[in-house]
Amino acid sequence: MGNFLLRQIFCGNVSFGLSVKMWYNNKKQCFEAGDPMSAVGGRQYQDSVFRMYFNNTERLRELAGVLHGCVYAVEEPLEIVTLEGTFLSQVKNDVSFLLAGRYLVFLEHQSTPNGNMPLRCLYYVCEQFRKDIAPKELYAKKKIRLPVPEFHVFYTGEDDEPEAYEMKLSDAYVAPSDAVNLELVVRFHNVSYDKARVLLHQSRALHDYAFLVWCVKENIRQGMARENAIREAIQYCIAHDVMKDFLEAHEREVMNMVGLEWNEKLFREAVFEDGLEQGLEQGLEQGRISAVLNMLKEKLPLDMIARVSEMSVEKIREIGRMHSLL
């Protein structure tokens, strides 16, 4: 039934706007009803548990030490500089921080592999430098000193991915060349819960987060309803001192966020599985554009449309302007 409905949505036989808007409004109301995000600095309902959990200097300092193979003392300054998006810029990332004035570290969480992470990270670091550097400084004689940027993706999905590897921007270039003039390297870490994962042994914060995600998935695999699976996972983790303080302080927010992340993931997967089927008949790209147009007509947020359609915000704006919707 669900797949049939989604096929009809893509084919235009059922109001896409009604279906997506109901999903979106439900998502929004879950957060607005209890105002759970007011307790975390007014963050928007799109935030993830990963973003919220690692918005913490102690956890970031511990994780940075593991990634760098050292221990950072409390005296080492650490400033969280996560991009939140503004009226003028839609660029948002999961977590980023400036460590000891020397390293600018970007952390991203992924539940599905994404080959465009180097390009996305290029957007992030450019936006961060744009924010931090006054335009007039670019034309001064004095050289601007920059922190060393680094990029990490933490993967908790189901695909059988290697434990660690590097993703390079140059891998996407249409003309391979020995002389690469612009490179960006993203370090991929598979932290899907497994007792043998080296990184999970080294970082308590990362271990606990990965374990919570695994508990939810395991409960669902055993047949629990999603809401019960999340609640049971949270209670189990609290009882076994996994993210205990965080979960006790933010249990309601975590319940809502995990549930909505799961809804969005299932929605996106179902839409594009059926979109692929329809794409064989009408062309996948045309189906994606049609879906984007319907979401724009319902005035859904651009960042949500981007996540669901897997198009860039810039591409969505272009489509909207071409059809006089933006």
Q: Are 84 and 92 in contact (CB under 8 A)?
A: yes
The secondary element (H helix, E strand) that includes residue 3 is: helix 2-11
Highest mean pLDDT pick, 120-124, 155-159, 248-252, 317-321 = 120-124
Let me know the angle formed at the C-alpha of 215 by 214 and 220, rounded to the nearest 5 degrees.
100
Distant-in-sequence, close-in-space partners of 22: CB < 8 Å, separation ≥ 6: none
Residue 42: what pLDDT?
A: 31
272-301 mean pLDDT:
67
**5-29 pLDDT, tens per residue?**
334 434 444 344 444 555 455 555 5
Distance CA 131, CA 192 (A): 34
pLDDT at residue 71 is higher than 80:
yes
Q: Kind and range of the H or E element at 208?
A: helix 204-221
Domain residue ranges of the chain, discontinuous segments joined by + = 77-190
* Whole-structure pTM value: 0.69
The confidence band for 278, taking pLDDT boundaries of 50, 70 and 90, is low
Measured CA to CA, the distance from residue 45 to residue 31 in angstroms comes to 6
Higher-confidence position of 325 and 72: 72
pLDDT digits (tens, 9 = 90+) for 299-312: 788 888 887 787 88
pLDDT of the residue at 178 = 79
| Among 2-16, 94-108, 247-261, the range of highest mean pLDDT | 94-108
- 208-215 LR contacts (CB < 8 Å, sep 24+): 208/237, 208/242, 208/243, 209/49, 209/50, 209/53, 209/54, 209/243, 210/156, 211/237, 211/242, 212/49, 212/237, 212/242, 212/243, 212/247, 213/156, 214/156
Q: Is the pLDDT of residue 33 over 50?
A: no
- pLDDT of 26: 53
More confident residue, 84 or 258: 84
pLDDT at 4 over 90: no
Where does residue 161 rank: exposed (0-12), middle (13-18), buried (19+ CB within 10 A)? Answer: middle
